[in-house]
């Protein structure tokens, strides 16, 4: 079963931090920064169901302006470059001065619907808890039905003792990523930028 994995990078980072980071936050904690290995996590989620294969991995994140947040701009720029070099499709949105991502959710939603129309997958895993993706899942199901296909939709997200909600994306089967699974998918590479 061809499986498409769509990862909302900021959502994944913040959910893992909320679920497992120590309080008060210890900057050396692996949950204090986006320590996940995108490819390893995607493949782990796909391979937990026998017969599934990874059709494609897509990663979406906002990147702040270099002049206001040079560290995070450099970190994400370096990580995204690495992902592209590994063959992962990357969407780079922006983070405005108020800390809000722009363009990320709509790009993920459009990619899901377009990939459905193009019949590029049989199962889709959205790594996010964002309810804004519910309408896109609903539309993708309608497109698949019109094509005479029945697709599988899952929403995977970190879940721990301090998680604020137990729900995933509406219209999907919810897959909770536990601490052991997340920890097994850590990225050992250092993407931190050198101070300018």
Backbone angles phi, psi at 11, to 5 degrees: -60, -45
Q: What is the rounded average pLDDT of the residues 31-46?
A: 96
| pLDDT on residue 196 | 62
pLDDT in tens, 143-168: 999 999 999 999 999 999 999 999 99
Q: How many CB atoms lie within 10 A of CB 179?
A: 15
Kindly list the domain boundaries of the chain, sorted by start residue: 8-161+173-184
pLDDT in tens, 72-102: 999 999 999 999 999 999 999 988 777 787 8
* CA pair distance 185, 44, nearest whole angstrom: 8
Q: Please tell me which residue, 38 or 190, carries the higher pLDDT value.
A: 38
Q: What is the rounded average pLDDT of the residues 155-182?
A: 97
The DSSP 8-state label assigned to residue 5 in this structure reads E
| pTM of the predicted structure, to 2 decimals | 0.95
């Amino acid at each position: 079963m061809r499986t498409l994995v769509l990862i909302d990078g900021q959502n994944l980072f913040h959910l893992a931090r909320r679920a497992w980071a120590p309080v008060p936050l210890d900057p050396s904690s692996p949950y204090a920064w986006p320590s996940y290995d995108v490819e390893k996590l995607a493949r782990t989620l796909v391979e937990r169901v026998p017969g599934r294969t990874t059709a494609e991995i897509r990663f979406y994140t906002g990147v702040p302006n270099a002049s206001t947040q040079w560290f995070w701009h450099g970190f994400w720029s370096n990580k995204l470059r690495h992902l592209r070099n590994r063959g992962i499709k990357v969407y780079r949105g922006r983070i405005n001065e108020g800390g809000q991502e722009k363009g990320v959710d709509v790009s993920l939603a459009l990619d899901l619907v377009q990939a459905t129309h193009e019949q590029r997958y049989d199962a889709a895993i959205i790594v996010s808890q964002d309810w804004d993706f519910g309408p896109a899942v609903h539309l993708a199901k309608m497109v698949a039905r019109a094509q005479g296909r029945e697709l599988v939709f899952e929403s995977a997200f970190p879940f721990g003792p301090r998680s604020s909600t137990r729900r995933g994306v509406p219209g999907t089967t919810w897959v909770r990523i536990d601490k052991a699974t997340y920890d097994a998918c850590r990225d050992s590479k250092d993407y931190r930028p050198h101070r300018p």
